[in-house]
């Protein structure tokens, strides 16, 4: 790892000041992606601003929505009675991320800000019509993810919390890479009355995306059968050593069927 400077402020205000004093500073949340990246010398920030002291880890049921702090660790979401009651699919998703040591450290905000194309959380944010509250604005999920590892976040902007809209019902099913447990394909399906949202992670070359055809098929008939006629095209899907684009296209339909079954 290149040499760098570490600071741990006690509030988001202080964190923002700290990042401004650096030329290429990075916010450090759980560090489950950032620390390995630094160790491989794939990034060389002149400073790390650890936001774990900024009190951003609360989990609260706010009626229509479930609000989770950016620093809530995966284990906290997975084990939270509030999350399990409000959106059990979200607790299930968190419980399936990485391994237990990753879940003990990794955070919601870190995962969403990084927008890894194979991360689980972005699909929940997109399917559950979430609002991402940052240090200076609130962004709708549909406007937040802008591409692989890309989001609408500015360099000096911190995610403080995310409000998930409570669905009528929801489920998340993934086909994990057996080694890393990242999603080779993960599908989050959320039903809000007559409206259904389907978000797919692990598959898109541009990162997480909604699948409009499956959404309309499921909106008219919420069943695995209604998906049979939907054609999942492999254009724009990831092909790598783990799976071809065609294989991922098949997995998208299969995971969605399992999610609604």
Partner 1 sequence: MGEISLKLNGKVETRDVADNTLLVDFIREHVGLTGTHVGCDTSQCGACVIHLDGVSVKACTILAKQAEGADITTIEGLANGDELHPMQEAFHENHGLQCGFCTPGMVMSAVEMVTKNKDISEDEIREGLEGNICRCTGYHNIVQSVKAGAAKMGGKN
Shortest Å, Cβ 95 to partner 1: 10
Q: Reduced to 3 states, what is the DSSP secondary structure of residue 109?
A: helix
Q: Is 92 in the site for partner 1 (CB under 8 A)?
A: no
Q: Is 179 in the site for partner 1 (CB under 8 A)?
A: yes
Shortest Å, Cβ 84 to partner 1: 16
Q: Is 140 in the site for partner 1 (CB under 8 A)?
A: no
Token pair, residue 61, equals 């049921």
Q: Which of 16, 17, 43, 50 binds partner 1 (CB under 8 A)?
A: 50
The alpha carbons of the chain give a radius of gyration, in whole angstroms, of: 18
Please, which of residues 62-81 interact with partner 1 by CB under 8 A?
Answer: 75
Burial class of residue 110, CB neighbours in 10 A (0-12, 13-18, 19+): buried
Query: Residue 181: left if φ>0, alpha if ψ -120 to 50, beta else—which one?
Result: left
Token pair, residue 240, equals 């790598």
Burial class of residue 234, CB neighbours in 10 A (0-12, 13-18, 19+): middle
Nearer to partner 1, 51 or 249 (CB): 51
How far is residue 24 from each of residues 21, 35, 61, 65, 109, measured CA to CA in Å? 9, 16, 36, 35, 20
Q: Which of 2, 20, 55, 212 binds partner 1 (CB under 8 A)?
A: 2
Pairing of strands 65-69, 59-61: antiparallel
Q: Is 46 in the site for partner 1 (CB under 8 A)?
A: no
| Rounded (10°) CA dihedral 185, 243, 258, 33 | -30
Q: Is 8 in the site for partner 1 (CB under 8 A)?
A: yes
Shortest Å, Cβ 260 to partner 1: 25
Shortest Å, Cβ 162 to partner 1: 23
Q: What is the DSSP string of 116-147?
A: -TT-SHHHHHHHTT-EEEESS-EEEHHHHEEE
Shortest Å, Cβ 126 to partner 1: 26
Q: Is 38 in the site for partner 1 (CB under 8 A)?
A: yes
Shortest Å, Cβ 48 to partner 1: 8
Residue matched to tokens 């598959």 = 203
Q: Which of 100, 138, 223, 233 binds partner 1 (CB under 8 A)?
A: 100
Count the site residues for partner 1 by CB under 8 A: 29
Q: Which of 16, 17, 35, 84 binds partner 1 (CB under 8 A)?
A: 35
Alpha-carbon gap, residue 196 to 108, rounded angstroms: 23
From 64-72, 95-103, 121-129, 218-226, span contacting partner 1 (CB under 8 A): 95-103
Residue matched to tokens 């998340």 = 172
From 11-19, 29-37, 122-130, 133-141, span contacting partner 1 (CB under 8 A): 29-37
Query: What is the binding site for partner 1 (CB under 8 A)?
Result: 1-6, 8, 28, 31-32, 35-36, 38-40, 48, 50, 52, 75, 98-102, 104-105, 179-181
């Amino acid at each position: 790892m290149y040499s760098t400077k570490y600071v741990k402020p006690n509030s988001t205000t202080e964190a923002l000041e700290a990042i401004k004093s650096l030329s290429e500073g990075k916010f450090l949340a759980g560090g489950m992606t950032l620390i390995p990246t630094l160790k491989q010398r794939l990034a060389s920030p002149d400073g790390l601003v650890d936001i774990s002291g900024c009190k951003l880890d609360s989990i609260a049921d706010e009626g229509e929505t479930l609000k989770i702090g950016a620093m809530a660790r995966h284990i906290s979401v997975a084990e939270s009675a509030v999350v399990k009651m409000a959106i059990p699919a979200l607790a299930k998703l968190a419980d399936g991320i990485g391994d237990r040591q990753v879940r003990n450290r990794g955070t919601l905000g870190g995962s969403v800000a990084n927008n890894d194309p194979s991360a689980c959380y972005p699909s929940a944010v997109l399917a559950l019509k979430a609002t991402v509250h940052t240090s200076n604005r609130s962004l709708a999920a549909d406007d937040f993810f802008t591409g692989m590892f890309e989001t609408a976040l500015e360099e000096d902007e911190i995610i403080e919390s995310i409000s998930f809209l409570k669905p009528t019902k929801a489920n998340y099913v993934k086909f994990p890479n057996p080694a890393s447990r990242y999603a080779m394909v993960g599908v989050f399906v959320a039903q809000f009355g007559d409206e259904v949202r389907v978000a797919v992670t692990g598959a898109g070359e541009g990162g997480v995306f909604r699948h409009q055809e499956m959404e309309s098929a499921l909106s008219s008939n919420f069943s695995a059968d209604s998906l049979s006629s939907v054609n999942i095209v492999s254009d724009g899907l990831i092909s790598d050593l783990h799976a071809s684009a065609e294989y991922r296209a098949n997995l998208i339909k299969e995971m969605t069927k399992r999610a609604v079954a």
